[in-house]
Amino acid sequence: MTDTYYITPVPEAGVFVRSGPGTEHDKIASVFPGDLLLTAPDNQSQIGQQGAWIAIYYPDGIRGYQLGYLAAWLVEELDSEQPLLVRTIESKAQRLRSGPGTQHPAAGFLFPEEQCQVVGDPVTMRARLGTAGEWLELTTPDGTRGFAAAWRLVEVGRKPRPTLPDLPADEPDDDEEPVPVADPVKEEPSEERRATHAVFPHGHALVGLHGPADPGAWPWDEDAPYEIITRAGIKAVKVHAWGDIDHRAVDRLKEAGVTFIMARLFGKFNEPRTPEDFLAESADATRRLFDAGVRYFEIHNEPNLHHAGGPEGMWVAWQNGREFGEFFLRCVELMKAEYGDEILCGWPGISPGPQASINPGEPPVRYDSATFLDEAEAAIRQADFVCMHTYWGADGTTYDLSIEKVRAYCERFPEQVIMVSEFSNTAPWVDKATKAREYVDFYRAAAESLPSNCGALFSYIMQASSGFEHEIWRDTAIPAIVGQR
C-alpha cells in the first residue's frame, strides 16, 4: 500500500486518541498495543519524537475507521516485512484445525512455548490477534500447518493483553484423540494458589442468590423471600440499594442463615448524569444499609448497555470503557469521603458478549464487553472488588464455559476478590428443575476448582414483578433442589 502506513501503541495500558494534536483536545477513544492504526507515510519520520502529534485513523466498532490524533512518542511502526511469530497463551496444548473453525477436522497441536509463523500479511494478521471469533493460519516448528483460535494466541515477545474467553473452548470431537494434557484434579484452593490470589474473608465461592429485580423494601417485607433462602441454604444475597429498603431486610436475612450481603447501587441513565447525581439517588438507602452492617457495594450495573428497557448509560453518559472507568473512580472517591475506607466499592458486572443490536440494522445496544473491559482495566484494578456476569443455555453454551469465564476473571485480577453478581441459564426451553441441577453443579465446580479470590456467586433471580420468567426462583423447584446439594 502506498498511501498508508501502519502503527500501533506501545504502552500496555493503552493510549488516548485525541480530537486534535495535543492534550488540550478532547479524548475520543482508547487504543492498545496490537491495534491496527493507519497514518500517512509522511508521518513516519515523526514516530518516536517527543512532543510530536500525528493524525491517524483508528477502528471504531460502530462507525468504521475514524480520524484522531496520537502522541508520536507513544507509537511504533508495524513491520510488514518481518514474519509474525506467535505462541499459545494456554498452559496446555492448543488444537490446530484444517480450517478456520471448530467444525473443521483436527490438524495437529500447538504446544506451549512453541513459536509458530503466521501465514499471510503480518500487519493484517497482527490486528486479529486476541480477537474472539478470528482464526489464524500458521506453521508449527515441525512443519504442521493449520488454523488456531486467534483469541488464544499472542505475538512472541509481547505480553498478552488479558481477554475473556468469549467463545467456547475448542473441544475435541467424539471421534478425535483428546488433547494431550494431564487429567484435571478438582480440589480446594491449594496453599500455592492462596499465596498468589486474594482470599475472600467471608468464605470461598459462597452459594448466593440475587434478590428481587424490584428495588425497595418490597418484597423483603414478606415471608416468601426468606423461605426461599432457608429452603435453598443460601449463604450470600445481593440486594438493591434503593428506595425504602432498610435494616429490617438485613436483620431477617441474617436470621435466615445468610452470612454475606452485597448491595448494588441502583440508577438509570435516560440522560447524562454526574457521579454526584447518580450517588444522590441511592444515598438514603446506601446509608441505611451501611448502618445495618453492609459493607460491599457494587457501583452500577452493566455499564456497556443502553436500550429503552435498560438505560444503563452507554453512549449517553460515557462513550467507552475508559470513560466509565473515570465515572466509577469518581464515585469511589465520593463514597470513601462519605464512609471512609470501611466501605468497599466494587466494579460492576458488565453485559458479556460482542457488540449487538436488538434488530439488524438498528443502533447497537451493547458495547463489546472484551473491549470495554480492556479500556477500563486501569480503573478496575483500583476497585476494592470486581463483579462479573455470566450466562449460558440460550446461546448454546453450558455452565462449564461460564466456570472458565469466572476463572479468567480470577486470573486476570488475582489481587482482587471476584463476585459473580449475576449468573443463570437463560434458555426458555429448559425447565426449572434442570436449571436447578445445573446451578448445583455450577456452585460445586466453583468451590472445587476456582482460586481463593472467588468470593460469592449470585444466581439471577429470586423474583420479579414482571419479566425474567425463565430465571426466577420463586414458586419453582429450584430452591428445594439447590437445598439438597
pLDDT digits (tens, 9 = 90+) for 362-383: 889 999 999 999 999 999 999 9
* Fold equal for 5-77 and 85-155: yes
Weakest-pLDDT range from 159-168, 306-315, 418-427, 438-447: 159-168
Residue range 217-225: mean pLDDT, rounded: 90
Is domain 191-483 classified as CATH 3.30.9.10? no
Q: Which residues pair with 109 in a beta bridge?
A: 95
pLDDT at position 152: 79
Residue 79's pLDDT is 63
Which helix (H) or strand (E) segment holds residue 13: the answer is none
Grid cell, residue 450, equals 476456582
Cis peptide upstream of residue 461 (ω within 30 degrees of 0): yes
Distance CA 199, CA 202 (A): 9
Distance CA 101, CA 113 (A): 23
Q: Is 293 helix (H, G, I), strand (E, B) or coil?
A: coil
How far from chain centre, in Å, is Cα 82? 34
Residue labelled with grid coordinates 465446580: 445
Residue 457: pLDDT band (50, 70, 90) is very high
- Smallest Cα–Cα separation from 58: which of 110, 127, 108? 127
Angle at which helices 224-232 and 247-255 pack, to 10 degrees?
Answer: 30
62: left (phi over 0), alpha (psi -120 to 50) or beta: alpha
Cell 473452548 appears where?
169
CB 261: neighbour CB atoms within 10 A? 23
Counting every residue written for the chain, the total comes to 485
Q: Coil, strand or helix: which one is 29?
A: strand
Residue 68: count of CB within 10 angstroms of its CB: 24
CA atoms within 13 A on the CB side of 275: 14
Residue 415 per-residue DSSP state: T
CA 116 to CA 113: how far, in whole Å?
Answer: 9
Asked if pLDDT for residue 62 goes beyond 70, the answer is no
Pairing verdict, β 454-459 and 417-425 = parallel
> Confidence class of residue 14 from pLDDT cuts 50, 70 and 90?
confident
pLDDT in tens, 70-129: 898 988 887 666 788 888 887 777 788 899 877 788 888 888 878 899 998 877 777 677
DSSP 190-238: PHHHHHHS---TT-SSEEEEE--SS-SSTTTTSSHHHHHHHHHT--EEE
**Helices 283-291, 247-255: crossing angle, 10 deg rounding:** 40
Rounded to a whole number of angstroms, the distance between the first and last alpha carbons of the chain is: 62
Question: Which residue reads 414458586 in cell numbers?
Answer: 475
Torsions phi, psi for 66 (to 5 deg): -125, 150
Cα distances (angstroms) measured from residue 301 to each of 259, 269, 321, 388: 23, 11, 13, 10
Per-chain mean pLDDT for the chain: 85
Q: Per-residue confidence at 175, pLDDT binned at 50, 70, 90?
A: very low
Q: Cell numbers 516448528 label which residue?
A: 141
Kindly report the backbone phi and psi dihedral angles of residue 86, in degrees, each rounded to the nearest multiple of 5, phi listed first: -130, 165
The full set of domain ranges for the chain reads 5-77, 85-155, 191-483
Cis peptide, bond prior to residue 33, ω within 30 of zero: no
Type and span of the H or E element at 252: helix 247-255
Please give the grid coordinates belonging to residue 153: 494466541
**Closest of 461, 476, 477 to residue 219, by C-alpha:** 461
Determine the CATH number of domain 5-77: 2.30.30.40
Alpha-carbon distances of 417 from 71, 344, 372, 394, rounded to whole Å: 35, 11, 20, 28
**pLDDT higher than threshold 80 for residue 312:** yes
Per-residue model confidence (pLDDT) at position 29: 77
Among the residue ranges 11-25, 274-288, 360-374, 391-405, the one predicted with the least confidence is 11-25
**Candidates 2.120.10.30, 2.30.30.40, 3.30.505.10, 3.40.50.2300; correct CATH number of 85-155?**
2.30.30.40
More confident residue, 185 or 316: 316
